[in-house]
Amino acid sequence: MRRAIIAPTDESLALEAADISLVHGLALADSVVYATARRHRAKLVTADADFEELPEAVVIR
């Protein structure tokens, strides 16, 4: 946890997440997570199959 950062959700991130939600059919909460990862140029590693096919998302099983 020492390398973790707290990423605030601001208006521009919320709007980007809303766009992602519409384009990719993700739930808004998932879209916020994905938009935050993209903003910080991080790979999103998840077990959630909803992120399959999204760039920079790694789905593990």
Domain boundaries, the chain: 11-59
Per-residue pLDDT tens over the stretch 17-41: 999 999 999 999 999 999 999 999 9
CA–CA dist 35, 61 (Å, integer): 22
Name the pTM for this structure: 0.87
Residue 1 is predicted with a pLDDT of 57
Q: What is the DSSP letter of 44?
A: E
**DSSP-assigned states of every residue in 4-32:** -------HHHHHHHHHHHHHH---HHHHH
What percentage of the chain has pLDDT greater than the value 70? 98
